[in-house]
Chains A and B, each alone.
Chain A
Amino acid sequence: MVESDLSIFLLALLAGAIRVGTPFLFVSLGECLTEKGGRINLGLEGILVTGAMTGYAVSYLSGSPWLGVLAAGGAGLCLGLVHGVICSLPRVNDIAFGIALILFGTGLAFFLGKDFIQPSAPMLPSIPLGGWSDDTRVRSALNVNVLFFIGVALALVLHWGLRGTRWGLVLRLVGDHEDSAQALGYRPAGVRIVATGVGGFLAGVGGAYLSLYYPGSWNEGLSSGQGLMAVALVIFARWQPINCLWAALLFGAAGAVGPALQAIGIGWGYYLFNAIPYVLTLAVMVITCRPDRTLSGAPGELSLNR
């Protein structure tokens, strides 16, 4: 009995890691891309919420959740480009503007999203990987959303692309040493604007996942800081896309501890366990950011590094 409880718990944890971790994966890949170019976009939190609202609204109005995902990405792209362009102006601090963008993005989403709290939009489909099992719990746990696989593929593509393409190398150069990039005739501002824009697109898609799959509705408390946690997650992942995948699963698992315990009948401390991702974020920050050393692997132009 104890053993089956444990296996149910672990199964629920794994399923939860994937389910809760997917938006983390998208947002952290977006942030990773942005930071590789030497900028931090804290505004991804606002972009995530805007993406969630846009995705839900477009899915409801058009009837196609995939159109919703694209629209969410498009909204994220726009906000990301705004961040990229404004931070390219002289004496604009990317952290300060990122905080402004959090407020702007969430405010905009709340304002425009009021009408979409009640109606229900078509959801994103998932792939049943548990067909072989008779156990309904196994089957429901192995229902994995298509976006997760897209995210995994994206992590692999980014991992390769940062080394194997001109674009990836130029992005890393710009993020690592601006003077070198300029000496070689590259324009750091342009590269960063594009990277921030694409990063925003990914965060928007992450938002659409929140509203169109899990938890699967649009409301104002949807994101609960996941966009900000992604910044810690990228540091934890040492700016490597593949590590972002593992880190996203870890954060997802941390967020799934409460529901997984509930699945085996442990109901106490549900809200306490839901706080685990935040504790994890704090722990990551305390462990990795010490005053007497800089982070290894961090892009050299990052403002957190200087």
Chain B
Amino acid sequence: MRALKLETIGASKTFGTFRALDKVSLTVRAGTVHALLGENGAGKSTLVKGLVGYSPLDEGNILVDDREYAVRLPRDAHGLGIGMVYQHFTVAPGLTVAENLVLARGDLPARIHWKAERERLSAFMDGMPFKLDPDRPVAALAAGEKQKLEILKQLYLDRRLIILDEPTSVLTPQEADEVLGLMRDLAHDGQVSVLMITHKFREVTAFADDVTVLRKGALVGSCKVADTSPEALAEWMMGRSDDRTVAGERPPVDPDRGPALEVAGLEVNNDKGVRAVHGASFVVRPGEILGVAGISGNGQRELTEALLGQRKREAGAVRVHGEPYHASRREMLDRGVHSLPEEPLRNASVASMSVAENLALRSFDQAPIRRQGWRVSRRVIREQARGLIERFQVTPPDPDRPIGTLSGGNVQRAVLARELTEEVRVLIVSNPVFGLDFASVAMIHQRLMDARNRGAAVLLLSEDLDELLELADRILVIHDGELVFEAPAGRADRAELGAHMAGGGERAAS
């Protein structure tokens, strides 16, 4: 069997005074898929980065096929046949598929004989269950294709144990099933062993043989998937049962009220000057959450930026409460338009300014912070910040700390606090819980729901279908810049949405 058996004994890692990983021992059996489950910050990434030598472990032993090896550098791990597919793509977008694959080889000759390399590549591709055109530039590949390229790269390098770091976060459900099914088949065939980081229970139960759960850097448990249940795993992960559902009533949307946000025929270009949003038209009514589903990079970012005034609109009209809207500061204030863009540290706050100052970004030029027409009262800014920090449980509760030093969840809470204190009538939200822990997710979802129930029109763009199915009243699907499908959330079907997200809906229709 080519597949490796991998064992860690007492793996530990400390950053300063923070114990990121505490004496974790686990075994990946040869020819199996092993899931590594845990919340953000549980130590999963720290462990695997140690295994591949990207950031070596402080203590602990690594055993491969029952022999101990030292892994201090990526090269050591590669020598053992251990490879990793990172969460963020590590293929160069400016190079072609073939160039990326060839570069991955450690023993590249000084002069590359492209003819011979091409023959090798096509012989290799012939033996693979999925194929990619070697001459395509990587920038032109879809996310799922890039993920396949990452996996092809590992297989091309003859890796015998492949670590996947949240491999499906950028894929459609169909693509995810295809990629993971393929990995499982390769593993059961004895070709590779797979260690897969995830926080999706569905993927664990459907594709993994064994599962190990980490919490706060420590091992909670490790067992066969067949011997456990999602409920038990959730309890292992969080120390209590998963409680993500949004509480409270959900009054129906009043169809007679006029739309709060209207978008008609909106056209937006991306950074390269290529049209990224084609003729987007939709309305959001007060007291409604309109979800926009789609795979990352299908025009959501451009659409959000155009609505928030960060990007030029090429054509089309945006109206708020029936009046044309150009996202000026005046209009935002008068009509109660608020936003929660993705990556809030980059898009909605100034990292080097304090939490208090960031909380005042919407209101510093209004009374009561503005005094005598021009003076800004720092006292009022701090008082306001203290109140908001307490209400939205921002930790650490220090208004003078630069917001860039807070964790992702707390930055998002702070931005939420700023955006949801004034009267909100239109709220534009993009991937609000990306990379956050369960407690923050539940809190943010509840706040969005509260805003809706108070009568705000909420536009929610998300790559997480579960989030949309839970929160939205209606769901639109965006694919390649076009809104291709609409369904009421109550009757939406995961598989159908997934097909449209992948662009399959058009093919079926034509």
Which residues of A does B touch, CB under 8 Å?
Answer: 163-167, 169-170, 172-173, 175-177, 179-185, 290, 292-294, 296-297, 299-300
Contact = CB atoms under 8 A, between A and B. Distances in A.
Contact of A177 (B93, B102, B106, B269): B93
Interface string B232-276: 000000000000000000000000000000000000011111000
Interface in B88-117: 88-95, 99-100, 102-104, 106, 108-112, 114
Question: Which of B88, B90, B93 is most buried by chain A, counting CB atoms within 10 A of its CB?
Answer: B90
A292 B272 CA distance: 8
B338 interface: no
B74 to A, nearest CB: 5
Nearest to A297: B94
Contacts of A163: 99, 112, 114
A271 to B, nearest CB: 37
Given A169-B102, A173-B95, A164 B114 contact: yes
A185 B100 CA distance: 14
A165 B114 CA distance: 10
A185 B74 contact: yes
B434 interface: no
B311 interface: yes
Given A166-B112, A167-B110, A177 B78 contact: no
B237 to A, nearest CB: 28
A184 B103 contact: yes
A292 B311 contact: yes
B90 A294 contact: no
30 contacts: A163-B112, A163-B114, A164-B112, A164-B114, A166-B110, A167-B110, A169-B95, A172-B94, A172-B99, A177-B90, A177-B91, A179-B86, A179-B90, A180-B91, A180-B100, A182-B74, A183-B54, A183-B86, A184-B74, A184-B90, A184-B104, A185-B75, A292-B269, A292-B271, A292-B311, A293-B270, A294-B272, A296-B272, A299-B94, A300-B92
A173 B91 CA distance: 9
Interface residues of B, number: 34
Contact of A293 (B73, B102, B106, B271): B271
Nearest to B78: A185
B131 interface: no
B312 interface: yes
A164 to B, nearest CB: 5
A94 B102 CA distance: 30
Interface of B: 54, 73-75, 78, 84, 86, 88-95, 99-100, 102-104, 106, 108-112, 114, 269-273, 311-312
Contacts of A296: 272
A183 B90 contact: yes
A297 B111 CA distance: 24
Contacts of A290: 273
A164 B106 contact: no
B257 to A, nearest CB: 35
A237 to B, nearest CB: 15
Contact of A165 (B88, B100, B112): B112
B74 A172 contact: no
Given A164-B114, A166-B112, A185-B78, A172 B92 contact: yes
A96 B230 CA distance: 55
Nearest to A161: B111
Contacts of B114: 163-164
Contacts of A177: 90-94
B94 A300 contact: yes
Nearest to A291: B312
A173 B111 contact: no
A176 B94 contact: yes
B311 to A, nearest CB: 7
Contacts of A167: 110
Contacts of B311: 292
B94 A164 contact: no
A269 B479 CA distance: 57
B102 A292 contact: no
Contact of B92 (A180, A292, A293): A180
A179 B312 CA distance: 31
Contacts of B73: 185
A175 B104 CA distance: 16
* Residue with the greatest number of chain B CB neighbours at <10 A, chosen from A176, A296, A300: A176
B112 to A, nearest CB: 5
B75 A169 contact: no
Nearest to A36: B94
A250 B25 CA distance: 65
Contacts of B103: 169-170, 173, 184
